[in-house]
């Protein structure tokens, strides 16, 4: 069990750091602000997994636990969801939500780093929020995670509708589905962990990372379907949302390429 608690989070962290680097590279090429937010969210994910691996290898450490809980249990889902909000919503609305998320993240950071910890409350060798002995800290996680879940699930549902209407079910469609499933998987593991089933947490995080990474590779593969940004992932990874909404551009994710002027030519793939 100790090997699993060390190796699985370590492998997950390596994959996620690579994944985050690829998304940041995409941002430098495309300048889509949603990519920057997603890259930051993935970095939080990678840091949390690194802390879990350190805990599995070296044992309990208060700083390791605090970083793990803050980055993984609280922030990561919300920041990944915020990237989806920037993709789907108007920039002005997304900016307001970002300010709220930033303030909430600062507050969560303060509460986590000032909380009293008791490692004897842990139900097993794996990290969980049970080690937090200060009241009012763990209650923060549902607010962040529910927001992230709504944003990610909403984006996935919208993606499905767009693909179904356009009868487009190639690599980008499959990639979108995998990314959505991968983003939701850690939330399921976290929910099970709250009920004491901590053995599923690291497995769900590993599977979620693998699904998202494969989805990203598929969505950015240079196929015939990727020659026109007619899907969520074409917009997500291959177009650049402009700083302002075009007055003539119809609303909706399927037309986000119109906002960036990318409908007239095929997007480049790194």
CATH number of the domain within which 138 lies: 1.20.1070
pLDDT surpasses 90 at 201: no
Residues 144-157 have pLDDT tens digits of 989 998 898 788 77
Is residue 18 in some structural domain?
yes
Is residue 268 in some structural domain?
no
More confident: 190 or 112: 112
Is residue 269 in some structural domain?
no
Looking at residue 246, its pLDDT comes to 38
State the DSSP string of 91-146.
HHHHHHHHHHHHHHHHHHHHHHHHS-B-GGG-SSSS--GGGB-STTSTTHHHHHHH
Strand pairing partners for 132? Answer: 117
Domain limits for position 245 = 2-260
Is residue 238 in some structural domain?
yes
Length of the chain, in residues:
270
Residues 60-75 have pLDDT tens digits of 999 999 999 999 989 9
Is residue 67 in some structural domain?
yes
The structural domain count of the chain equals 1
C-alpha torsion 143→149→154→155, nearest 10? 120
């Amino acid at each position: 069990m100790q090997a699993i608690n060390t190796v699985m989070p370590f492998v997950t962290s390596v994959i996620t750091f690579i994944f985050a680097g690829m998304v940041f590279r995409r941002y430098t090429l495309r300048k889509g602000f949603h990519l920057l937010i997603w890259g930051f969210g993935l970095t939080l994910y990678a840091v949390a997994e690194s802390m879990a691996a350190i805990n599995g290898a070296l044992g309990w450490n208060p700083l390791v636990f605090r970083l793990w809980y803050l980055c993984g249990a609280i922030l990561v889902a919300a920041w990944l969801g915020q990237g989806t909000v920037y993709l789907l919503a108007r920039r002005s609305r997304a900016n307001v939500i970002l300010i709220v998320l930033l303030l909430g993240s600062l507050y969560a950071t303060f509460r986590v780093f000032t909380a009293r910890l008791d490692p004897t409350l842990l139900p097993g060798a794996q990290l969980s929020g049970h080690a937090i002995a200060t009241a009012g800290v763990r209650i923060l996680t549902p607010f962040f995670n529910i927001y992230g879940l709504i944003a990610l699930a909403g984006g996935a549902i919208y993606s499905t509708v767009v693909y179904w209407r356009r009868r487009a079910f190639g690599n980008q469609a499959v990639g979108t589905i995998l990314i959505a499933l991968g983003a939701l998987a850690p939330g399921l593991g976290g929910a099970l962990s709250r009920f004491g089933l901590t053995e599923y947490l690291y497995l769900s995080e590993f599977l979620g990372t693998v699904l998202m990474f494969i989805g990203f590779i598929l969505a950015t593969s240079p196929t015939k379907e990727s020659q026109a940004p007619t899907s969520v992932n074409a917009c997500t990874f291959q177009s650049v949302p402009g700083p302002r909404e075009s007055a003539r551009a119809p609303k909706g994710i399927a037309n986000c390429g119109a906002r960036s002027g990318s409908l007239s030519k095929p997007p480049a793939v790194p």
